[in-house]
Structure 1
Amino acid sequence: MIGFDYGTSNCAVGVMQDKSPQLLSLGEHGRYIASTLYAPSRDVIVNWLHKQLPSAEQAAFQRLRAQQLQKGQGALRELVLDGCPTELSFGQQALDDYLQEPDEGYYIKSPKSFLGATGLLPQQIALFEDIVAAMMSNVKTLTEAQLGRSVSQTVIGRPINFQGLRGDESNRQAIEILTKAAKRVGFKEVEFQFEPVAAGFEYEASLTQETRVLVVDIGGGTTDCSMLLMGPKQASSLDRSADLLSHSGERVGGNDFDIAFALKGMMPSFGLYSLLKSGKPIPANSFWQAMSINNIQNQTDFYSGANTRLLEQLIREGEQPELLTRLLTVQKRRLSYRVVNAAEQSKIALTDTTEQRVDLSDIEQELSINLDRDGFAKACYRELSAITALMTDAVVQAGCEPDVVFVTGGTAKSPVLNAFLRQQFSDTPIVIGDHFGSVTAGLTRWASQIYG
């Protein structure tokens, strides 16, 4: 049995050893593998997955995906004729492969962000099932190699809401995709636990008395808050429904901080806020679409032929055409992920330093941008305010104040976030947990309880 954090930013796996959860090393990736996938062609994902499936699943999958598999075979033949690789890559290797040739192949980051999206067509849902299954298959293989045995039971973390709109329907769709993918790759028993509750379980192990804990889990795609009654007595119970006093969640997380930072911190160097020769401001829509890597429709619109023509027109009519030419380069070379990744890496670097210089010479010779903590705080004010609102909502729902606020998730490392939260909750102790491992550890504890 394992606890499986299939996260928006990273995936991690935990097992119980000597009555304590331990995060496994997943081969060369270490304890955390980035939630990214790269395929030389989108059409070959289904063929790669078919080869990895347990033999008992292959025949049924072949019938279900017959048309896609046939199309993939054609794509594979073309790749072989062109001397291109045919395998998928994951984690950091996926990002490296994408950055090497960003206008080739198929790269996806944080597919979890899309699972609850409204308006997905059946073929899109099938593609996401296959992407998630491929990533889960890779993690399961790495896990079993590390343990030296097969695993068939798992508890997977889930946000309170996958999407802000049409919550129940979006949640049902996302859970169905995750369940099908997990069972397809060989997990026979699959359960889910709310991520903030799981993070709270790990903090609970340190408590010696009953405590009201506001757990704030700032993930890559969502932020979830849960007010939980915790303590040694509660920890031994298999039914924790009475201990969950309230919860709130919204689709705002680390990815949104990265996108906001890229948009407001970097896009001015690509023409955002510049003017047309007429004196009117350059329309901002293309800049937003370019950075919205977690929005399928925005990315489709940005990379459309119509937008190419629009950008070329704006270059002709703009006062600073050299800036807009950079945006056209991003569009033609499909570099949205590259720019947002630069913002993400800068966000991480600004944890330990107040300024960061970003090298973008691969977009334009000698191009670089200076970013700093103050700029990050200004760029992400909306996201910071949304997280505070979620915390306040959870407190109001619970009808009581927390004894302590427990914050976890990768973005919790940011000094900007810490300072902002301490301003809003100045009278309540704030504990910063294991930024990445709390959820995985809590899922592992829960797996041990329900399967043990």
Structure 2
Amino acid sequence: MIGFDYGTSNCAVGVMEGNNPKILPLGDHGRYIASNLYAPSRDVIVNWLYKHLPPAEQTTFQRQRQRQLLKGQAALRELALDGYPTELSFGVQALNNYLQEPDEGYYIKSPKSFLGASGLLPQQIELFEDIVAAMMSNVKRLTEATLGRGVTQTVIGRPVNFQGLRGEESNRQALQILTNAARRVGFKEVEFQFEPVAAGFEYEARLEKETRVLVVDIGGGTTDCSMLLMGPKQAAAQDRTGDLLSHSGERVGGNDFDIAFALKGMMPGFGMDSMLKTGKAVPVNSYWQAMAINNINHQTEFYSAANGRFLQQLIRDAERPELLSRLLTVQKNKLSYRVVNAAEQGKIALTDCPQQRVDLSDIDDGFTLDLDRDGFASACQRELAKIAALMQDAIAQAGCRPDVVFVTGGTAKSPVLSQFLQQQFQHTPIVIGDHFGSVTAGLTRWARTIYS
């Protein structure tokens, strides 16, 4: 049995060693593998997945997906003839492969962000299930190689809401995709646990008395809050329904902070906020679409041929055409992920330094941007306000104030977030958990509880 944090930003796996959870190393990736996938062609994902499925699943899969498999085989032959690699890559290697040739291949970051999206066509849901299954298969194989044995039982973390407030249909859709993918790659028993609840279970192990804990999990794709009644007595129970006093959650997380920072902190260097020769402001819609890497429709619109022609006309009409030419370069070479990744890396660097210079010379010769913490805080006011509302919603639902606030999630490492949380809870102790490992550890504890 394992605890499996299939996260928006990273994936991790835990097993129990005695009374303590241990986060496993996953081959060369270390304990955390970035939730990215790169394929030399989208059509070959289904073939890679077929090759790595358990034998019992291959026959059914082949019968169901014969047309896609044949299409993938043709793509594989063409790639081999052209001398391109034919394997999928994951984690940091997937990002590196994308950055080497961003206009080639198929790259997806944080597919968990899309699973609850409304209006997905059946073929899109099928594609996301294949992508999730491929990532889970890779993690499962690495886990089994580390343990030297198979794993068939798992507890997978889930946000309170995948898409938005009260989005139960979105939640059902996302959970069905995750369940189908997990069972396809060989997990025989699959259960889910709210990510903030799991993080709370890990914190609970150190408590010596009954405590009301507000868990705030600021992850890559969502922020989730749970008010929990915790302590030694509660930890011994298998049914924790009565201890879960409230939940709130929304799709606002690290990805949204990165996108906001890229848009407001970097896009001015691409011509946003500049003027046309007529004296009017440059339209901002294409800038929003360019940075919205977690929105399928916006990205499709941005990379359309019609938008390319629109940007060319804007360049002719602009007072500073050299700036807008950078946005056209992003559009022509499919560099949205490249720019948002630069914002993400800048955000991470600002954890230790108040200022950071970002090199974008691959987009325009000599192009650099200076970022700072104040700019990050200013860019993310909307996201911070949403998190404040979620915390207050959880407190209001519970009808009581927390004795302690337990904070986890990689985004919470930012000094801007730390200062923000201190301002929200000036008279309540704030405990910082393992930013990346608390959820995995708690899922692992819960796996032992329900499967033992």
TM interval, shorter chain, is: over 0.9
2:183 maps to what in 1? 183
Deviation at 1:81, TM superposition (A): 1.2
1:427 maps to what in 2? 427
Distance in 2 (CA, whole Å) between partners of 1:391 and 1:178 is: 27
* C-alpha contact 2:346 2:371 (8 A) present in aligned 1: yes
Distance in 1 (CA, whole Å) between partners of 2:168 and 2:413 is: 31
1:389-400 equivalence runs, <5 A: 389-400=389-400
Unaligned ranges ≥5, structure 2? none
Letter in 2 for 1:319: E
Distance in 1 (CA, whole Å) between partners of 2:214 and 2:381 is: 22
Letter in 2 for 1:61: F
2:282 maps to what in 1? 282
Distance in 2 (CA, whole Å) between partners of 1:448 and 1:126 is: 32
2:134 maps to what in 1? 134
Distance in 2 (CA, whole Å) between partners of 1:215 and 1:129 is: 30
Distance in 1 (CA, whole Å) between partners of 2:69 and 2:276 is: 49
1:9-408 equivalence runs, <5 A: 9-164=9-164, 167-408=167-408
Deviation at 1:433, TM superposition (A): 0.6
1:439 maps to what in 2? 439
Deviation at 1:65, TM superposition (A): 1.1
Letter in 2 for 1:397: Q
Deviation at 1:421, TM superposition (A): 1.2
Deviation at 1:361, TM superposition (A): 0.6
Distance in 2 (CA, whole Å) between partners of 1:75 and 1:123 is: 19
Deviation at 1:427, TM superposition (A): 1.1
Distance in 1 (CA, whole Å) between partners of 2:162 and 2:222 is: 7
Distance in 1 (CA, whole Å) between partners of 2:117 and 2:51 is: 28
Distance in 2 (CA, whole Å) between partners of 1:432 and 1:243 is: 21
In the TM superposition, what whole-angstrom CA distance separates every residue of 1:31-50 from its partner, at most 9, and x where no partner exists?
00000000000000000000
Deviation at 1:28, TM superposition (A): 0.5
Letter in 1 for 2:169: E
Distance in 2 (CA, whole Å) between partners of 1:165 and 1:238 is: 28
Query: For 2:351, what is the secondary structure of its paired residue?
Result: coil
Greater Cα offset, 207-216 or 164-173: 164-173
Distance in 2 (CA, whole Å) between partners of 1:409 and 1:421 is: 13
In the TM superposition, what whole-angstrom CA distance separates every residue of 1:373-405 from its partner, at most 9, and x where no partner exists?
000000011101110110000000100000011
* C-alpha contact 2:161 2:251 (8 A) present in aligned 1: yes
Distance in 2 (CA, whole Å) between partners of 1:416 and 1:64 is: 49
* C-alpha contact 2:165 2:250 (8 A) present in aligned 1: no
Letter in 2 for 1:264: K
Q: 2:449 matched to 1:449?
A: yes
State, as a whole percentage, how many aligned pairs show the same letter: 79
Letter in 2 for 1:136: M
Query: For 1:328, what is the secondary structure of its paired residue?
Result: helix
Relative to the length of structure 2, the TM-score reads 0.99
In the TM superposition, what whole-angstrom CA distance separates every residue of 1:272-308 from its partner, at most 9, and x where no partner exists?
1011111111111100100000000000000000100
Greater Cα offset, 59-68 or 44-53: 59-68
Deviation at 1:67, TM superposition (A): 1.3
Distance in 2 (CA, whole Å) between partners of 1:254 and 1:240 is: 29
Deviation at 1:63, TM superposition (A): 1.2
Distance in 1 (CA, whole Å) between partners of 2:299 and 2:166 is: 22
Deviation at 1:341, TM superposition (A): 0.4
Deviation at 1:70, TM superposition (A): 1.2
Letter in 1 for 2:269: S
In the TM superposition, what whole-angstrom CA distance separates every residue of 1:200-238 from its partner, at most 9, and x where no partner exists?
000000100000000000111000000000000000111
Letter in 1 for 2:254: G
Distance in 2 (CA, whole Å) between partners of 1:194 and 1:139 is: 20
Distance in 1 (CA, whole Å) between partners of 2:166 and 2:99 is: 35
* C-alpha contact 2:412 2:418 (8 A) present in aligned 1: yes
CA-based RMSD of the aligned residues comes to 0.6
In the TM superposition, what whole-angstrom CA distance separates every residue of 1:418-449 from its partner, at most 9, and x where no partner exists?
10111121111111110000000000000011
Letter in 2 for 1:353: C
Distance in 2 (CA, whole Å) between partners of 1:352 and 1:166 is: 37
Deviation at 1:8, TM superposition (A): 0.1
**Runs (4+) off by over 2 Å:** none
Letter in 1 for 2:306: A
Distance in 2 (CA, whole Å) between partners of 1:388 and 1:447 is: 31
Deviation at 1:166, TM superposition (A): 6.2
Query: For 1:275, what is the secondary structure of its paired residue?
Result: coil
Deviation at 1:326, TM superposition (A): 0.2
In the TM superposition, what whole-angstrom CA distance separates every residue of 1:337-387 from its partner, at most 9, and x where no partner exists?
000001001111100000000000110111000000000000011101110
Letter in 1 for 2:286: S
* C-alpha contact 2:165 2:249 (8 A) present in aligned 1: no
Query: For 1:14, what is the secondary structure of its paired residue?
Result: strand
Letter in 2 for 1:284: V
Unaligned ranges ≥5, structure 1? none
Distance in 1 (CA, whole Å) between partners of 2:193 and 2:165 is: 21
